[in-house]
Structure 1
Amino acid sequence: MTKQALLIPSIIFLLCIACHSATRDYTHAIIHHTASPDWPVERLRKIHVEERGWDDVGYHFCIRADGTVEKGRDLHKQGAHAKGRNQFTGIVLTGYDTFTNQQIKALKDLLRNLGVRSIEEHHEKCAGRGLNLKEIANDVGINYVGRGW
């Protein structure tokens, strides 16, 4: 399967989601890291489906080390990435505690293109200590909710 790089103009995205159920909140995103090598979303999908018994990969988007954004779970479907927060968009960056400039740029672009208005980290150790989401939120002009809940 080929990688799918995504560039979604905000207006097109908003028109598309207007057709879907209002049970999903597209304006808030939970940011994660894989704590694994630079695996493609298809490998994550295989782990989530075959080992965890889920119906799909838990995240809506996966950002690889080279900055490629890969589509995960269909955006209009509820995620499986953060217990109690699965109604929000799940974005995962591949890697442990350090991330590439390409990943940071891709994350900022994705947040802008999706029309996200607020982000939070999965919990105190995720999205990785090397990712300053407060600074990223400030750069994008959105709200940083914090770490964990």
Structure 2
Amino acid sequence: MYVAQFNISIERESLDHPRMKDFVERLEPVNAEADVWDGFVWRLHDDTGNATDIRAFDDQRIIFNLSVWKSVETLKNFVYQSSHRAMLKRRLDWFERIVEPSYVLWWVDESERPSVEEAKSRLKQLQEHGPSSSVFTFDTVPVPDSSDA
């Protein structure tokens, strides 16, 4: 079993606004680092190499990331031990505070590449019902079961 992750952010300004310049400039290097990180499998992106132009919510300020990793541990290592960590520290410079869960993890088969619609559904499930064996966070990881994917 692999783990899928989906996270959302709500832009304070459009990506072409000067306030967002540092975020936009750091995005490509962080994505490139993720692509070669131990345990990385796949991430949704367009022809530019990122997903910021893919809009999947009624609120056009919402951007997201959807990826698959070999384990929760390898994903967590990337999130907190790579250059991504510096971006996390500055997220409130660029994005609104979200009080409900803004990311979700779930188990997937090794060959699975989840759709945006599935990811949105998983996040909604976590937001409405809390963590379970089918949707979770870094703090609530269940033991994988082959029936969870």
Q: Structures share a fold, TM > 0.5?
A: no
Q: Relative contact order (C-alpha < 8 Å, sep 6+): which is higher?
A: 2
Computing the radius of gyration over CA atoms, which structure comes out larger, 1 or 2? Answer: 2
Query: Whose helix proportion is higher, 1 or 2?
Result: 2
